[in-house]
Amino acid sequence: MLSGILPWLAIIFVFGVVIFVHELGHFLAAKATGVYAPRFSIGFGPAIWSRKWGETEYVLASVPLGGYVRMASRDDSSMAILEGGTEQPAPESPTEGEALPRWYDPEAMAPFGPKPIPENRLFESKTLAARLVIMLAGVTMNMLLAFVIYCAMAYSQGIPLLRTRVIGDVRAVASAPSLSQLHPGDTVRAIAGRTVSSWNDIDRRFDSATGPTITLTTNRGTVSIPVGAPNSATRDSVASAIVPYLAPVIGKVVGGMPAARGGLAGGDSVVTVAGDTVHTWYEMTSHVQQSPGKKVEFVVIRQGARKTITVRPDSVPADDGGPPTGIIGAYQRSDIEHLPISVGQALAAGWQETWGIAGSVVTALRRLLNGTLSVRSLSGPVEIGHASYVAAQAGWAMVLRLIAIISINLAVFNLLPVPILDGGQILVNVAEAVKGSALSLRTREYLMRFGLAVIALLFVIVMYNDITRLVKNLLGL
């Protein structure tokens, strides 16, 4: 029973934390600037649970696809379409049988009581700066959540140290043909004439190289490799083309994923995949990635005995919009040590990780707009729910990392200039400030409808992608 409940708990927890933090940002900013906020809701539609503390009703609603903070506004009618409710005062002297708000209070402001909302408590009464603070507070809180998670993880886990200097794989890079002189199994002894003692040293030497080329000395000789300018895409591609040796030993399998369903287990040492002998973890994963939806035969050594196991990798979209790739839900046995770090180092690591992922999300959005990334690569609630379940199987560290990634994605997405999203609302408020007057109700209605249409279209696309992917994996296509 617990295994059946776990996926739902993981999904609710991941979605709930990200949405709650976003809406909490709006709520705290509204309260700080004096805007009346009668409702704080996680979800849309009818309330499953609600309580009123102070002047705010806190709600868990039936449609868990987001949340909102209801703020007093002159434009009550358009927001009521999405959020429900009204800011109209309740009757001061209700007649017998007349319906009253659930939390009716004869001394309260609308919608809970008969007192009208003062002009200075309306959202529109605040300065442009205050309104921008309120609208940016949600994405700020999401970014802050990710930053805190990454800092905490960095501090608790320390600096990962991989002591090996043995090359596990060398990938081709068109701008650096001399990489072909390196081979799996080579031991790196020095870079730029400086001795290295771990793979961390190798990464640092590549990052700190100042010239357009770098010399890499192995047990077989010295190779000169063009690396391009510091922080360039060329340097990144060359540095990532040389990967460390990791033994093809499974450390852990994720329950419900193909590896577990097929019978692979932690501790299995992989000998062959699809009939080919594998010597490294990268060789094994390469076979898996190239076989989405196809049966793959593994030969493993388990407790000294040789076993043959058939696994059918799930199919997932490629990040670059290309052919789908295969995954089985198996983690490599960790050969990484962790060295303690200071609070300052943890803060720096968290900052770098947070903004690095935010940059990747922006790049993906740009590629979607210019057509170099297919919309088929987008995922929705079903895929995120599956990822939440997989993360829960892997442990709290993976759950927290997933929360951070989704939180950053939500922050960037909300800044898009689409009416109904924070970015669209920011543009509307700035436009009104420049214009010197509010947009007409008709214009606001058209903008709201356009925003709803965009979000609805996006929802249809991601749900289609999720369901298609799920059906293909179930049918083994």
pLDDT at residue 1 above 50?
no
Regarding predicted confidence, which is higher, 151 or 89? 151
* pLDDT value at residue 98: 60
Query: Mean of the pLDDT values across residues 284-288?
Result: 92
* pLDDT value at residue 320: 52
Contacts of 353 (CB under 8 A, 6+ apart): 150, 154
Q: Would you put residue 208 in left (φ > 0), alpha (ψ -120 to 50) or beta?
A: alpha
Structure tokens at 165: 């200097």
User: Where do the domains of the chain lie?
Assistant: 165-244, 250-335
Contacts of 289 (CB under 8 A, 6+ apart): 313, 325, 326, 327
CATH assignment of 250-335? 2.30.42.10
pLDDT at residue 237 above 50?
yes
Q: Is it true that domain 165-244 has CATH number 2.30.42.10?
A: yes
From 64-68, 231-235, 300-304, the region with the lowest mean pLDDT:
231-235
SS (H, E, C) 19-47: HHHHHHHHHHHHHHCCCCCCEEEEEEEEE
Mean pLDDT of the chain: 85
For residue range 143-173, list pLDDT tens digits in order. 999 999 999 999 998 888 888 999 988 988 8
Domains 165-244 and 250-335 share a fold: yes
For residue range 429-456, list pLDDT tens digits in order. 999 889 888 888 788 778 888 888 888 8
For residue range 319-334, list pLDDT tens digits in order. 555 677 899 989 888 7
For residue range 12-51, list pLDDT tens digits in order. 788 889 999 999 999 999 999 999 999 999 988 888 999 9
